[in-house]
Chain A
Amino acid sequence: MVPDNKSRIFYPRDYRHLNKPKPRSLLFLGIFVLPTLCLFLFFYPTITISLSSWGAAILRATTKTVVSIESVRFIPGLGEASFISIEGTTPSFTHSLVNAIISVFFILLSTQINRNNRPLMIYLSMGLFVHLVSSLFFLVIPDLFPYTIQDYSRLYILQQIGTWMTITVISGLATNLVLPTGGYKYAAFIVTVLFSFIFGCVRYVIYLYLLYRFTVLYMAALYFIFGVLYDFLGMIAIYAIFVRGASYRMSSNAGKGEWQW
């Protein structure tokens, strides 16, 4: 009987690596990443005016108050960024006091509850700490609070433009670096940028509504704790899904030619 040839050869994972990227992989940066970056860089006036118009319409309908659109200089020579302006209220002494007490209570509680969720508890404790500082600020020196909802709106828009550009660069570099195959690379990049764009727009309107409805007391927490972290959370989640897909492919016959030893 002729011995069966070994049908599968297990190469060690220790030293395997990929073929050096071909020059055409740089096209990805040139054709996709750079134009996307330019889109945000040169068209942020158009993007922000559209977003503000759309958001203002929603806020007018939901709040029944005066909502206008203002603009601010951002990058010299590239135009102004537009943002929504809406009247807000500052919290009362009682409102601030109740929030401070609740924050302290939950900070203490978070040190006691389920230790299996320590990372989440530490993250929430940091959020509660920021909210506690904000509550104490309004308790002690409410007149010195340096921001209105308009200021928040302006900061948000400027930060969001920065976020879109940063996510474009990081996602472009990370996908080009690790995902060697075309389809996954392009898909991961496009989905990430789309997610960041849509999420940033939707969150803008929701946060302005929350600040209008519940006072500027919550501004610090929204800015620091529920802000850009979630853009990155989304980016990494999307990235992980596509790298997983690429890993399945590269473990199959279709992808085995990618590896070098």
Chain B
Amino acid sequence: MVAIMKLYFIIMIIVMLVYMVRHIIFTYNRLYSQQRLSYRDIYDSDLPKITVLLPMHNEGRVITMLFDALLRCDYDWDKLEIIAIDDHSVDATGQIIDQYSSKYPIIRTLHRTDPDQRRGKPVALNEGMVMSTGEIMIVFDADYRPSKNLLKKLATAFNDPQVGAVMGRVIPLNASKNTLTNLLNLERTGGYQVDQQARYNMRLLPQYGGTVGAFRKSLILHGGGFDEHILAEDTELTYRFALDGWHIVYDNSAECYEEAPESWDARGKQVRRWSRGHNEVMFRYLGKTLTVNRLSFFQRIDAVLLLLVYIVPFLLGLAFLDCIALFFLGEMDILTGWWIVLFVGAFNAWGNFAPFYEIAAGALLDGMKDELLVLPAMCFSFYFYMWHISLGFFDAVVDTITQRHVEWVKTDRFFESDPDETENPM
């Protein structure tokens, strides 16, 4: 038994070192290599007809800001359709989208009010796609604010017939609100500015993130729509497309601004839900990813490491318990006290979705300065993530074993629409 515990400990050190090397490569690539450009920066051709899907559940507090931002976008309205999906809201969401729809003909509404209907983002997206007229779908959560040229940037990539999905960059609007939002801003910087862009540069597997992203409707409908039993329809789309040979593009210049969670409770629930959904996808796609022929060797390695990213904190938690058990068994002489390497790996390779040097690289590229001073707080949020992601992993295990019905729970909102700030773009 002790031998197994020691072996597990050593395996975890190796896993951590693998992730560490991966992120060092990403950081080097992003900092020192020529960057792959947005399709929009390369050519400017006819744009396709697009449909913007806005799935919403009780979003009355924030939805007007999203509508106003979308209406300010510079996309030709003849080729733009916005479908606002009210998914069983009990607040003013339904009335607000009706008001906007009556004022702006490009906004169509879909009210999902039948109590017998299944609720959740994948179901709402499936129904929205069926009533849409565009071939390219672009999805936003209600607390996002697209930049003026975002729709053009995302849509242009689909002139390449090999592109199946495009992901834009997410930037928190409320970064200065508190320590948590500042940390999330840093995480996003490491995750998008460095990690996603490096994976795109290296022709690996950028991840479609479920919001601020676009995809070909026909590909999803051909596969029977989004799986309504899964929480991470975005990760599922990423792997479904990649394994079928479609390219996923990351556009670092397609900026969209989000409301980051302002309380640790909200963040904990959000991360737990992500972990649950991501791990469900991991159970389904790990075998296929390892065996599929369409991916190159390095693409496959990266796809597997990306797929495992939400199980690693749970495995680290087990390694921590393993260490404690070995300590009380008098076996801490393993590697003569070098168990520290485990935590070196943890902080360097996994950290909080991005290791500290990757975040620092992103901050440097983004011109951040004083924001960096909260970077050491990552050491404590690391334990917070380990706990909540492990809970999400257990949820996914139970979901998979029992095939239980998964309910979609959205993240709490903190912003309040300011009526004075809404503008009439007409």
> Measured between alpha carbons, how far is A123 from B384 in the docked complex, in Å?
7
The segment from B214-222, B272-280, B326-334 found at the interface with A is B326-334
User: B298 near A: Cβ within 8 Å?
Assistant: no
Name the contact of B360 in the complex, choosing from A14, A137, A229, A243 (C-beta under 8 A): A243
Residue of A nearest to B34 (CB): A17
Chain A residues in 8 Å Cβ range of B324: 130, 133, 220, 224
The segment from B50-58, B79-87, B365-373 found at the interface with A is B365-373
Q: How far is the CB of A57 from chain B (nearest CB, A)?
A: 24
Contact A146 B328 (CB under 8 A): yes
> Measured between alpha carbons, how far is A143 from B353 in the docked complex, in Å?
43
Contact A155 B376 (CB under 8 A): no
The segment from A27-35, A91-99, A169-177 found at the interface with B is A169-177
Contact B252 A247 (CB under 8 A): no
User: B402 near A: Cβ within 8 Å?
Assistant: no
Contact B375 A237 (CB under 8 A): yes
Chain A residues in 8 Å Cβ range of B35: 14-15, 17
The segment from B110-118, B230-238, B262-270, B392-400 found at the interface with A is B262-270
CB within 8 Å of B: which residues of A?
A: 12-21, 74, 115-120, 122-123, 126, 130, 133-134, 137, 145-147, 155-156, 158-159, 162-163, 166, 170, 173-174, 177-178, 220, 223-224, 228-229, 232-233, 236-237, 239-241, 243-244, 246-248, 250-251
> Measured between alpha carbons, how far is A66 from B380 in the docked complex, in Å?
39
Name the contact of A123 in the complex, choosing from B24, B360, B361, B380 (C-beta under 8 A): B380
Q: How far is the CB of A176 from chain B (nearest CB, A)?
A: 10
CB within 8 Å of A: which residues of B?
A: 24, 27-28, 30-35, 37-38, 193, 252-253, 263-265, 268, 320, 323-324, 327-330, 332-333, 336-341, 343-344, 347-348, 356-357, 360-361, 363-370, 372-373, 375-381, 383-384, 387
Chain A residues in 8 Å Cβ range of B330: 146-147
Contact B376 A240 (CB under 8 A): yes
Main secondary structure of the interface of A (DSSP, over half): helix
Chain B residues in 8 Å Cβ range of A123: 380, 383-384
Q: How far is the CB of A199 from chain B (nearest CB, A)?
A: 14
Residue of A nearest to B262 (CB): A116
> Measured between alpha carbons, how far is A26 from B373 in the docked complex, in Å?
28
Contact B360 A240 (CB under 8 A): yes
Chain B residues in 8 Å Cβ range of A170: 344, 348
> Measured between alpha carbons, how far is A14 from B356 in the docked complex, in Å?
20
Q: How far is the CB of A115 from chain B (nearest CB, A)?
A: 5
> Measured between alpha carbons, how far is A119 from B383 in the docked complex, in Å?
7
Contact B263 A116 (CB under 8 A): yes
Chain A residues in 8 Å Cβ range of B357: 173-174, 177-178, 239
Contact B264 A15 (CB under 8 A): no
Contact A247 B37 (CB under 8 A): no
Q: How far is the CB of B282 from chain A (nearest CB, A)?
A: 24
> Measured between alpha carbons, how far is A223 from B323 in the docked complex, in Å?
11
> Measured between alpha carbons, how far is A137 from B27 in the docked complex, in Å?
45
Contact A244 B31 (CB under 8 A): no
What are 25 residue pairs bridging A and B, where the CB atoms are less than 8 Å apart in the complex?
A13-B366, A14-B252, A15-B35, A17-B33, A17-B34, A74-B336, A115-B264, A115-B265, A116-B264, A118-B268, A120-B380, A126-B383, A147-B330, A158-B338, A163-B340, A166-B341, A177-B361, A178-B364, A220-B328, A228-B343, A232-B344, A237-B376, A240-B360, A247-B364, A251-B367
